[in-house]
Structure 1
Amino acid sequence: MRAPPDPLAATRTWVKTFVVARDVCPFAGREVARDTVRYVAVPADDPEAALLALFDECRHLDETPDVETTLLVLTEGLEAFDDYLDLLEIAETLLADQGFDGTFQLASFHPDYVFADAEPDDPANFTNRSPYPMWHLLREAGLERALEHHPDPEGIPARNVEAMRALGFEALAEALARLRG
């Protein structure tokens, strides 16, 4: 019997072989090379504990300027995309309520991510699909600096959608499934 995959190892592999290798986020490669990405496993079967972990990471980033961003890998409890979206909404509201608006931004990823205006089998959804549900906590100041140096930041989403559709749903789904073992 095979051991279950390590969620953090699978996420690191996804970042390197998908996000960076396919230039889905043109800023990720620099941070991976600089080792300024923090990976944290967070069981989300207790939503309150998952939210507390998010705020622990906000404090960690406040106290650790050499870490640019954190990927909180939600290892269990949010397998259903709708449950994930419900807790994401609460997390975003609490970030604003706690005064982190303008300091941190929360990007969202899920194995079954579907954009509101997309069909589930649209390859474009893979821009936000990941091996595990996760919250990507970004420093807004770092993101703004990166965007200032990109020749076409507004074109990134359309370029990514085009690239995902060129790869096709089957190939993307197989690659993501391999990361989960």
Structure 2
Amino acid sequence: MDKKQKQSRNKIQNALLTCLNTTSIQSITVKKLCEEAEINRSTFYRHYPSIEVLMSHTISSYFQLLLGEPYKFYLKHHSISESQFYIANNIFSHISHNAYFYQTMFKHYPNFYILLKNHIHQRYIIFFEDTGVQNDMILDKDIVAEYVASAYTGMIQGWVIRALDTPPDEMAQRLITLNSTGPIKLLIDAEKKPRQ
């Protein structure tokens, strides 16, 4: 894809996000999108056959960058715990740099939460398989991936709703603490502390 094609795609994707902030996805027309992007219809159709395909491609392009390359990181460092921090840091940094996209999607695209959770779940399954750790886990890899994906997606959504009120590295550390310690262990430890 040449530079001009990339620019056209970026304009179309940006116009889609702008339109989503004022119009439901079902009501966005190619005409409205082209007006917003300041392109003609033939340019739109050269890149996408429909609004639905545009939406799917836009989401995929952001999700591709979400987790980084955890297996490559793992091969270099041979540490699951360091790989988890790499993934968490990558996710929260990516969302911070692309806040407008994530704010728009959580607010205006009804199944975005599920799409994000499913993506993280699938990437974790792949990570478990690539590293070989799924063979030695005491729980099934799908259950572990589901738990981790749900934790990430819930924290991400809350963070986005709160307008990214906490730095990305702190969010990554919080998630690692929750995942490595477990929420029940945190509650039990808090209960043991003397009350004033």
| Short-chain TM bin | under 0.3
Would you tell me which structure has more helix in proportion to its own residues? 2
Q: Which has the higher contact order (CA 8 A, sep 6+)?
A: 1
TM-score, scaled relative to structure 2: 0.23
Q: Which has the higher strand share?
A: 1
Tell me the TM-score normalised to structure 1 length: 0.25
